[in-house]
Structure 1
Amino acid sequence: MARPEFPEEGELVMCTVTKVYPTSVFVTLDEWGDRSGMIHISEIAPGRIRNIRDYVVEGKKIVCKVLRIDKKKGHIDLSFRRVSDAQRREKVDEIKQAQRATQIITYVAEQCKENPMDIAKKIADYALKEYDTIFNYFEDIALDHELIKEAKLPKKVEETLLEVITTRIKPPQVSISAEVSIKSYAPNGIEVIKKALQDTLKVSDQISITYLGGGRYALKVVDEDYKSAEKVLKKASDVLTSAIRGPEGEIAITRT
């Protein structure tokens, strides 16, 4: 599928400031070749602006939202102020991921003495049907190595790409935690608590326990997704509870 000539209205784009005038700013759209756009001073920041250069200067990279497009004239009107901090961070991360994907493909092409454009096209033909970006596909390959076969790459390219992905891309992780308050009235209470904590750590390598003081502990689980993390946390909580709760002990587990 051929790439469109223009971004869509409402789309976020990475831009480089080229000219700054008293009431407007001109930029190039980094991901759209030689396309240029304009930001009116009213779209730089809310309220009155005394000096537009307090916000942008030539050469600065900024994330903008596409407001209007005149395809006949080639004009693109943009907004800087309508991009939230969260959207800005997300776009910057997207650009960095695209750069990482390109670097990986270029390296693999060099190692296999192949044309990087040919490899990129083969990967994109599959990846962009199933994923938002090629890097998202690479992240899933890091979790499930069999997915690399879907791109139908030459064997040497496939093997090299898999090796690079597993080396350079760590699977995305999430973390959940709980605060545990433990009391043991048994004569050997310290040993009972110590063994309970040790048994809890044996549940999974994804578990860590930190002493907070006053009989309180921070229980943390790091895993590939929330569903898996919740299962591990529940199992860990069950182990702790069965070891402590009873006539000689008290335990309270609170999610944090």
Structure 2
Amino acid sequence: MSVKGRDLPEVGELVIATVTEVFDKGAYVSLDEYSDVSGYVPIGEVASTWVHNIRDYLKEGRKVVLKVIRVDKSKKYVDLSLRRVSDKEKKDKLLEWKRFNRGEKLLELLSKKAGVDLDYLKYEIAPKLVNAFGDVLGGFEEAARFGLAPIVNAGIPRDLAEFIVDLAKENIELKEVKVAAILQLTCEASDGIVRIIEALKAAKMKAESIGGVKCRIYSVGAPRYRIDISAREYKVAEEALKAAVDAALNVISSLGGSGSFKRV
């Protein structure tokens, strides 16, 4: 069975392929995500400019990201393009493939640790994790962050969910994302510095009221103050930074001062 749950890819789909044979007029490949499906990259689909040597782009054994341009269902055969894949598409697809393979390894470890058949995990459990968290690795990451509840809520039997949490904590290293901004706060009142401190305290409190956020605020030369936010998800970090900046500006304004900010 294919990784995608389909026998063949669709036109326009990005695929991971391994180059099997290279000729002057094109190259044959096998599709890593589909069982027993091969394809061909014609020379005209290798690059947008004239190709002097096709092996500058495609070599036997190399894994490449390609775009499907035609599908022959009767022959289980596809025509593919290298030139139509943008740098961003390539980067995103390689990341998806890397995450898929990491998820597969974790399922193999789970099978051994829990004494559960690997096919059961791949065809019964994995789809539930993909549906709830985007991919299998996403499920393990969620387990490492939040424990049992989200895994059980995804429909995973509790006894197996406990093994997933244990395995996630042993194997998943959660990386924090960081965002920052520079605040410029001024207040000409006699106790202006006290009012600025109040604004900074409000900023820190507001940021850290968002779960899983760490906030550090420090002077980088008055009247400039840096806010460093770290969180496990970029969206959360951005939300916390905005909340901190808004709080500081609102408080300093209410206390008779003024402020501005810029991203760094």
Report how far residue 69 of structure 1 moved: 1.3
* Residue 78 of structure 2 is aligned to residue 76 of structure 1: yes
Normalization by structure 1: what TM-score?
0.81
Residues 125-157 of structure 1, C-alpha deviations (whole Å, 9 max, x = no match): 5335556533344444455542312333361x3
CA distance in 1, matches of 2:44, 2:222: 56
Unaligned stretches of 5+ residues in structure 2? none
Could you say which residue in structure 1 is the equivalent of 2:261? Answer: 253
Partner of 1:134: 136
Alignment partner for residue 156 of structure 2, among 147, 152, 159? 152
Alignment of 1:1-256 (within 5 A): 3-130=5-132, 132-142=134-144, 144=146, 145-149=148-152, 150-153=154-157, 155=159, 157-169=160-172, 177-187=180-190, 189-190=192-193, 193-194=196-197, 196-203=199-206, 204=208, 205-209=213-217, 211-213=219-221, 215-223=223-231, 224=233, 226=235, 229-230=238-239, 233-234=242-243, 237-239=246-248, 241-243=250-252, 246-247=255-256, 249-254=257-262
Distance 1:21 1:232 in 2: 54
CA distance in 1, matches of 2:261, 2:158: 52
- Hey, what's the Cα distance between the residues in 1 that align with 2:241 and 2:170? 26
CA deviation profile, 1:216-254 (whole Å, cap 9, x unmatched): 23334444464784366335532454257544x432235
Structure 1: which 5+ runs fail to align? Answer: none
> Deviation of residue 190 (structure 1)?
4.8
**Alpha-carbon distance in 2 for matches of 1:42, 1:210:** 57
Instruction: Give, in whole Å, the separation in 1 of the partners of 2:243 and 2:196.
Output: 18
Bigger drift between 217-226 and 96-105 goes to 217-226
Q: Does 2-11 or 54-63 show the bigger shift?
A: 2-11
- Residues 204 and 244, structure 2, Cα contact 8 Å, conserved in 1: no
Rate the CA distance shift 1:61–1:73 in 2: closer, same or farther, 3 A.
same
Q: Deviations over 1:73-93 (max 9, x none)?
A: 232100011111111111111
| Aligned Cα root-mean-square deviation (Å) | 3.2
Worse-matched range after superposition: 5-14 or 129-138: 129-138
- Cα 1:11–1:132 change in 2 (3 A) is farther
Cα distance, 1:169 vs. partner?
Answer: 4.1
Q: One-letter code of the match for 2:182?
A: E
CA contact (8 A) 2:180 2:226 kept: yes
Alpha carbons of 1:188 and 1:154: their partners in 2 closer, same or farther (altered >3 Å)? closer
User: What is the identity percentage for the equivalent residue pairs of Structure 1 and Structure 2?
Assistant: 29
Distance in 2 (CA, whole Å) between partners of 1:178 and 1:38 is: 50
Between the aligned partners of 1:188 and 1:20, the Cα distance in structure 2 is 76
Q: In 2, distance between residues paired with 1:30 and 1:139? A: 25
The range that moved more, 96-105 or 202-211, is 202-211
Q: Which moved more, 1:227-236 or 1:79-88?
A: 227-236
Could you tell me how far apart the structure 1 residues matched to 2:218 and 2:56 are? 46
Residue 164 of structure 1 deviates from its aligned partner by 2.2
Letter of the aligned partner of 1:43 in structure 2? E
* Contact 2:199-2:247 at 8 Å conserved across structures: no
- In terms of mean alpha carbon deviation, does 198-207 or 11-20 score higher? 198-207
